[in-house]
Amino acid sequence: DAGVIQSPRHEVTEMGQEVTLRCKPISGHDYLFWYRQTMMRGLELLIYFNNNVPIDDSGMPEDRFSAKMPNASFSTLKIQPSEPRDSAVYFCASSLSGQYGYTFGSGTRLTVV
């Protein structure tokens, strides 16, 4: 099993540009989570899906953020327009119903200049 795969690993973009982060969960997992890690807030839940359906997006900071899960093997997190304060490491994680733990991807380090 290749684990949770995130791309790109690093992204540097200019303020105002659109950024799309991608995630492939572990096959068979029915939960997918998007987290953001910052020094101030630690691991912050942005949104999560169950069976491709968004369950809770209350952590999405602003309307500039959106997430989709068109199928069980792919999800995107989009920021449009991006701002310097969006700079952080974004993690995707997946899990299986009945199991407590998540498997995290390696993260995408986003820098907005």
Query: What is the contact surface with other proteins in residues (CB under 8 A)?
Result: 4, 31, 33, 35, 41-43, 45, 48, 50, 55-56, 91, 93, 95, 97, 99-107, 109
Can you tell me the distance from the alpha carbon of 42 to that of 55, in angstroms, rounded to the nearest whole number?
22
Q: Which is nearer to other proteins, 33 or 65 (CB)?
A: 33
- Give the torsion sign (CA, 78, 65, 9, 49): negative
Can you tell me the distance from the alpha carbon of 80 to that of 92, in angstroms, rounded to the nearest whole number?
19
| Residue 16 C-beta: closest distance to other proteins, Å | 27
| Residue 60 C-beta: closest distance to other proteins, Å | 15
User: How open is the CA angle 13-77-90, to the nearest 5 degrees?
Assistant: 70
Q: Which is nearer to other proteins, 3 or 84 (CB)?
A: 3
| Residue 46 C-beta: closest distance to other proteins, Å | 12
| Residue 80 C-beta: closest distance to other proteins, Å | 25
Name residue, tokens 């942005």.
46
Q: Which is nearer to other proteins, 54 or 81 (CB)?
A: 54
Can you tell me the distance from the alpha carbon of 67 to that of 93, in angstroms, rounded to the nearest whole number?
14
Q: Which is nearer to other proteins, 19 or 107 (CB)?
A: 107
Q: Max Cα separation, the chain?
A: 42
